[in-house]
């Protein structure tokens, strides 16, 4: 069985904004609540037998890098 990614968007003070299995929804809330941080963890199991297999990893810097690369690509199209 493969794990399920779970995305959490938090303020820098640690307050949870949203937790979701949808990366699109997590990115939406991340953009709406900037500055914020986005974390991903992995969960496995079903029903009451669900457990976390990978502790939350802060992927905010990866998201920022991807946004910069996308901006640079778009900017290059308009030069």
The per-residue pLDDT for 76 is 81
- List for the chain the helix, strand, coil content (%; round to 5): 40, 35, 25
What residues make up the domain containing 21? Answer: 4-77
Q: How far apart are CA 51 and CA 31, in angstroms?
A: 29
This prediction has a pTM of 0.80
pLDDT at 79 exceeding the cut of 60: no
Band of pLDDT at residue 1, cut at 50, 70 and 90: very low
Model confidence over 43-60: pLDDT tens digits?
999 888 999 999 999 999
In the chain, the number of structural domains is: 1
């Amino acid at each position: 069985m493969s794990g399920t990614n779970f995305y959490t968007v938090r303020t820098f003070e640690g307050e949870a904004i949203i937790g979701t299995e949808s990366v699109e929804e997590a990115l939406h809330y991340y953009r709406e609540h900037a500055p914020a941080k986005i974390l991903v963890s992995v969960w496995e199991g079903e029903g009451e037998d669900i457990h976390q297999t990978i502790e939350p990893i802060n992927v905010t810097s990866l998201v920022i890098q991807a946004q910069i690369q996308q901006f640079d690509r778009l900017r290059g199209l308009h030069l």
